[in-house]
Amino acid sequence: MLTRSSSEIEKKDSQVIPEKKIIYIWSFAVFFATMNSTMFNVALPSVQVDLSINISVASLIISGYSVVLAISTLTFSRLSEFIPILKLLITGIVLLSFGSIIGFFSKHFVLVLITRLVQAIGAGSIVSLSLVLISRYIPFSRRGRAMALTSSAAVLGLGLGPVLGGIIDQFLGWNFLFLVTVLIVFLIPMFIYLLPKEEITKVKFDSIGCALTCLSVVCLMVFFSTFKVIFILIFILLITLTSNHFLRVKSPFIKANLLKNRKYTTLLYIGFVSYFVYFSTLFILPFILTDIFQLESSEIGFLVFPGAILSAVAANFIGRLIGRFGNVSIILAGQVFLIISTILFAFLATSSTLPILISYLFMSPGFTALSTSVRNEISKILHVDEIGSGMGIVQLTQFFGGSFGVTITGTILTIQEGLSQVIMYRNIYIVLIVVTITSILMVFLYRRKLETGVSDD
């Protein structure tokens, strides 16, 4: 099985690229790709009514997208070690555009779900390859700012998604949401002109490992959506087969040595929790604002808009703060913002819309700071030939955390049917508070490892 050697990667890394142009254009693409994941959040009540489905089934449009996006990010990151970034990116953009066009004409839930999954495959290339490019071609001294810019574009997309989604849903209908991401296809000529020219390395891609990983993740998510024992049994069987397969293959889909690095896995958990909490909030807010305050879709979107703008404005400062205080300090600061916002949501979100606005003003920039600093710290501790796989696993874990959060939140809502709405939503945020506290403890554990110089072996 052929692989690209470290010397080949280092030689390629020496290429000079137009950093600012590429990062700004790619951030624009990331903005649309991530916005696509939240535009449907505020429209979910409308989709639920139009397609005659319950909340748990409707949540598959969000959680299913996140699961496939997570798997797609890892797959494209892994492929980037052998296939030119440009070729992979064009493939992803074409898939995203194709899914968007077909989705516009979809009138049945199954077709809507399938087209969303196709979109997720394409969007995964845009999100994952941006990190690969930054980690591979931009020096560490400037890497924090580059990651902060793409992260802020992602958070701005996540924040503006509900705004644009609400307006389109209210005045045009939710089917028109599919057409927004088609705009990314017009960026292809710019990418062709700006991206570095890389050579193709002939390899035997671990397609079996990729398939087993995908099936394992899907079975786990279906179990938490349905709680049917058969799916957890299939998951256990698949994960056993996957582990044995990775031990036998020379170049596995997921490199086991990465997961032996305790600093790396600690950072993975912190990133997982940040996405779990943030995506759970984006999923549950439209239902709170619709059920309790009877707001229209567009009004819901505009309520989270200030938080998204604040996050985008803060991006440049976050990059500078990382350079001045280091990643770990910013990770901890992001956690503080996250715990403050979840506490405010838990006890004030059902009283009026103002606390929701204030809470999101804490959560959005906190999430940007947290996700940026975690990724930057991981890129620092990885070896150069681990970037593709390592950053892919990071994004798999993060987006799986987002999908898992949506699934768990939808399940908790379903279980609590019959309780008052105030108690239902408060219970969900109490769970998120507990989860966030465990992540904060992991930050202190990670900092202790750095201070004591604990070995990762």
Q: What is the pLDDT along the chain (457 residues), one digit of tens a residue?
A: 334 433 344 444 445 677 888 888 998 899 888 888 778 877 777 888 887 777 667 777 877 787 788 788 888 888 887 888 899 999 999 999 999 999 888 888 888 888 999 999 999 899 888 888 887 888 877 777 787 788 778 877 877 787 788 788 888 888 888 888 888 999 999 999 888 877 766 667 788 888 888 888 778 777 776 678 898 899 999 989 988 888 888 778 877 777 788 889 999 999 999 989 988 887 888 788 887 888 776 677 677 778 777 877 777 688 788 878 888 899 999 999 999 999 998 888 888 888 888 888 888 888 888 888 888 888 888 876 677 678 778 877 887 788 788 878 888 887 887 788 888 888 889 999 999 999 999 999 888 877 776 555 4
| Dihedrals phi, psi of 357, to nearest 5 degrees | -60, -45
pLDDT at 276: 92
Pair 1, 251: CB distance under 8 Å: yes
317 is written with which tokens? 């400062």
Q: 402-436: string of b/e by CB count within 10 Å (b at 16+)?
A: bbbbbbbbbbbbeeeeeeeeeebbbbbbebbbebb
Q: Is the pTM of this model over 0.85?
A: no
